[in-house]
A and B are shown apart, each in its own frame.
Chain A
Amino acid sequence: MNLTLKIWRQPDAVSPGAMHTYQLADVSPDMSFLEMLDVLNEQLNDQGEDPIAFDSDCREGICGMCGLMINGDAHGPEVTTTCQLHMRSFTDGETITIEPWRSDAFPVVKDLVVDRGAFDRIIQAGGYVSVNTGSAPEAHSVPVPKDDADRAFNVATCIGCGACVAACPNGSASLFMGAKVTHLGLLPQGQPERDERVVNMVAQHDHEGFGGCTNIGACTAACPKEIPLDVISQLNRDLRTAIKHGH
């Protein structure tokens, strides 16, 4: 297939960026989207033009490093990560627009690469169980109901890619936060710090410049791991409870 690609180019965090147009011929439908960009980069390199910077690492949909706005959709038209999107989802002659994640809290580093350090700082604020190495009790000393364990797992599959933020008109990271608060809140090990966790994570979230949630649901629709919207209800509920407890 032959494609027209409109791609955001920005030399660094402070310089202004712009959309550039490239033609790419002979694209195989079996290529992944990122392999298509690899081929474009080889072409640019041959022509002496700086290759386009974009993030990716595992390329099997689990590390969360990749993430592009493709024709305005986070990770493109399928429910998957950008690395697992294949060119057979596009048609010959199509024009594809490629941008970095859209969010003030994820500033552009270069071209399609953004800084998602804010997610790490939200986890630092409380997204853990405080248990030093070696101090753990025997694993079977605390049974966990299977339903709780299964649901905790389902929401713990969040890969921290940031698609939820990029898709949200408010730039909210509530789905990301809700997933962690729900994961740890469902488990007995997460109870002692449950109140502080939600209060501190939400405070950090707001401090980073993410927007509030207005229940639009674009986040869950864009999520490659299909984290359900009700983790945000759980987040709000936990927050209300913590405030009632005097936090």
Chain B
Amino acid sequence: MSHDSHDMDMPDTVTSTEASHSGLLDGEYDDAAGYYTPGTPLVDTKAPQGPIADRWSDRKFEARLVNPANRRKLSIIIVGTGLAGASAAATLGEAGYNVKTFCYQDSPRRAHSIAAQGGINAAKNYKEDGDSVHRLFYDTVKGGDYRSRESNVYRLAEVSTNIIDQCVAQGVPFAREYGGLLDNRSFGGVQVSRTFYARGQTGQQLLIGAYQALERQIAAGTVSMFTRHEMLELIVADGKARGIIARDMVTGEIQTHLADVVVLASGGYGNVFYLSTNAMGSNVTAAWRAHRKGAYMANPCYTQIHPTCIPVSGSHQSKLTLMSESLRNDGRIWVPKNQADCDKDPREIAEEDRDYYLERIYPSFGNLVPRDIASRAAKNVCDEGRGVGPEVDGVRRGVYLDFADAIDRLGRDAVANKYGNLFDMYARITGEDPYSVPMRIYPAVHYVMGGLWVDYDLQSTIPGLFVTGEANFSDHGANRLGASALMQGLADGYFVLPHTIRDYLADGPFEAIGEDHPAVVEARTSVTDRIEHFLSVNGTRSVDSYHRELGNIMWEYCGMERTETGLKKAIDLIRGLRDDFYRNVKVLGTNESLNQSLEKAGRVADFFELGELMCIDALNRRESCGGHFRGESQTEDGEALRHDDEFAYVAAWEWAGLDERPVLHKEDLVYTAIEMKQRSYK
């Protein structure tokens, strides 16, 4: 999260679906045939009808109320304490419900929302520069490459302004101007200034605001907080989500927590790639266990990859760090023309021996091409053997981002003023001084747009299971705009879920179930069986070594560019590795203590199954859209080519069992308030 893409300043041209279609006939390709089962379409998303600007007020009015006296009889479980979870827990606690909140970290304040740098969008139009709810809505749908649901996105834009009011009232120290009013900046290439920020630590400040609101409710007794607890199973009793099985990560105790409703705010699954900008503990387990219990997973292949991360320095690498994409405004990207120069000091490589490949291939946009183009181009030159930096597993994966020209032109001080903090961060991590040696960068996985399918109420296909924030799929389509992740997390938690969940809770409290209910017993048994299995395999390979290998497969075949051949190969590799994992993993210690290997084993097991589904989803979607690029679907210039007539739908996958073909349910995307356009940057 950071300063942002330049994706959005590209002019668009309206193209007919035929023109964008390169002559394919409907159904001519079914790349994923044999890997999935076609299912019934998803038709009821609960999205209200009528003028788009009225839909959210209509829904809020129609959603039934819960009498304040009844609220304390209703219990809510919330998994995750990032922006989407902490804000929901605080708000529902204030409303008087009984809330239980869970996080795997030692404090709710650690959730990875805290690492978001750049800012949060809101349609305040404080700059009087033509911004509006409608324009933020339009930019978000366009940024998502017309693969999001318009009703949800409109609502997101609509409540964005309330978020800023709420955060300011909490004491979030946003950047201000000398007059004392809030400052805004332009972000993500959009033409209006609508991004609110707190230096480069906006996520931290927003999360601390939500965390403090949450701690206030904990003190008030409306919220019970379970830190160092990990959800390992969802309890679905009589067709409704009624609780979770959690493991106390300190004592190993397997606990049953029952409630009237369950909310997953458990974040994204970028760590399926092993290396990503996510936190070490970020995982898919909560969402995946729900998926296995009947919640559909939507568009799992939509992954956002950032071109400007610090490259891998060795096989010990545990995570990747993002640097602001604004660096591309002044830095020039190049690699040596000759492989023989790749291990030389870059300062000794003559100008004529350098290949400024983005400037060469894309003369009009040069280093400012959209992030997916920049990322793929970097991968291509490294695959050709012209990457720079240390060799890791036999390949140099890095390209230069050179500020020498900028320093000549603007002076060192001006460059330091603009990028000083980033240069410092780079120097700390790499030990190199970017003022004198060109930076090295490489793309990294940053965010996932896919997630559990939810309707307009943020309810999944399991009644009583709601999903918020990055864990759901709903608002960003195939790509997310910069400064919109924070907006969505807080929109869901503060202003959307608290209204929609009451309509569900109005039917409660539901009939009490006990620990002896068959659904509870089944969930507990599956958890304890799995733990016992991991501890008893006593194989030869560590969990991390499997995770790293899975990540390599995903990165190679389901990363920046996906092809039919590559994805089919990846599916085979993943299945083989998964089998080996269950037979040969080595997890020491016991369940009855803090056991970090055991924690990781469960998460990696779920990443295997998710990774396979991501590949199947990517295989099915034979088009390029947003963050998903299929090698088979590009223009002659290597531009992404969308196929609106075949793929303007949400792919919602139903679990059919291990080694069974998942069932594909399609939700058609219909735009009534906006016209679909094809991206072009010629």
A153 engages B199 (CB within 8 Å) = yes
Report yes or no: A189 in contact with B314, Cβ–Cβ below 8 A: no
Q: Please, which residues of chain B bring their CB within 8 A of the CB of A149?
A: 173-176, 180
Which A residues touch B166, using CB under 8 A? 131, 133-134, 136
Given A45-B586, A50-B589 in contact, is the A131-B170 Cβ separation under 8 Å?
yes
Do A11 and B593 touch across chains, with their CB atoms under 8 A apart?
Answer: yes
Contacting pair B169 A63 (CB below 8 A): no
Chain A residues within 8 Å of B213, by CB: 128, 131, 133
Chain B nearest CB from A53 CB (Å) reads 5
Q: Do the beta carbons of B205 and A34 come within 8 Å of each other?
A: no
By a CB distance below 8 angstroms, the chain A residues around B680 are: none
Is B90 within 8 A of A139, CB to CB? no
Is A190 in contact with chain B by the CB < 8 A criterion?
yes
Q: Could you say which of A110, A117, A140, A189 contacts B169, with CB atoms under 8 Å apart?
A: A189
Task: Find residues 166-215 in chain B having any chain A CB closer than 8 Å to their own CB.
Answer: 166, 168-171, 173-182, 198-199, 201, 204-205, 208, 211-213, 215
Q: Which candidate, B3-11, B317-325, B406-414, B558-566, is the interface stretch facing chain A?
A: B317-325
A130 part of interface (Cβ distance < 8 Å): yes
Interface residues of A in 115-132 (CB under 8 A from B): 115-117, 119-120, 123-125, 127-132
Stretch from B63-71, B427-435, B479-487 forming part of the interface with A? B427-435
Interface size class, chain A: 35 or more
Which of A24-32, A69-77, A214-222, A238-246 makes up part of the contact surface?
A24-32
Say if the beta carbon of A103 comes within 8 Å of chain B: no
A31 to chain B, nearest CB (A): 5
Q: List CB contacts (< 8 Å) of A79-126 with chain B.
A: 80, 84, 86, 88, 109-110, 113, 115-117, 119-120, 123-125
Contact of A28 among B177, B198, B316 (CB under 8 A): B316
Taking a contact as CB atoms under 8 Å apart, the answer to whether B279 and A189 are in contact is no
**A16 adjacent to chain B (CB < 8 Å):** no
Q: Is the CB of A115 within 8 A of B431?
A: no
Residues of B within 8 A of A184 (CB): 171
**Alpha-carbon gap, A130 to B498, bound state (A):** 18
Task: Give bound CA distance, A237 to B572, whole Å.
Answer: 66
A 170-188 contacts with B by CB, 8 A: 183-184, 187
CB proximity to B under 8 Å, residues A157-204: 157, 159-160, 183-184, 187, 189-190
- Is A206 interfacial (CB-CB < 8 Å)? no
A-B contact pairs, 26 of them (CB 8 A): A11-B593, A29-B431, A35-B316, A49-B588, A51-B588, A51-B597, A57-B110, A57-B280, A57-B281, A58-B279, A58-B280, A63-B110, A65-B105, A86-B431, A116-B107, A120-B109, A123-B212, A128-B170, A129-B212, A131-B166, A131-B213, A133-B94, A140-B126, A149-B180, A153-B198, A156-B208
- Residue ranges of B at the interface with A (Cβ–Cβ < 8 Å): 87, 90-91, 94, 105-112, 114-115, 124, 126, 162, 164-166, 168-171, 173-182, 198-199, 201, 204-205, 208, 211-213, 215-216, 218-219, 225, 227, 250, 277, 279-281, 313-314, 316-319, 321, 390, 428-431, 494-495, 498, 542, 544-545, 586, 588-589, 593-594, 596-597
